[in-house]
Amino acid sequence: MASYGFGSKILQVFSNLILNAVAAVPAESDRLSICVEVQGESVQVTIADNGEGISDEFAAQLLNLT
């Protein structure tokens, strides 16, 4: 799916993800990983941290699974 014209929205999404990950990482064991992989005409971006994460209940709400 092409996202032409949505550059500022995509930038906001990545900014939010990265800022949230930085805020969630414990200072004593900070780890934040950002991986970008080109797959043909698509790009996969993975942002991971070693914070405590979110509860299953809240995750379900975020994904509208409840």
Sequence spans of domains, the chain: 7-62
pLDDT of residue 4: 63
pLDDT of residue 37: 95
Nearest partner of 49 among 17, 25, 20, 23, judged by Cα: 25
**pLDDT per 10-residue tile (average), the chain, 66 residues:** 70 88 79 90 87 81 68
| Contact (Cβ atoms closer than 8 angstroms) between residue 34 and residue 25 | no
At position 7, the amino acid (one-letter code) is: G
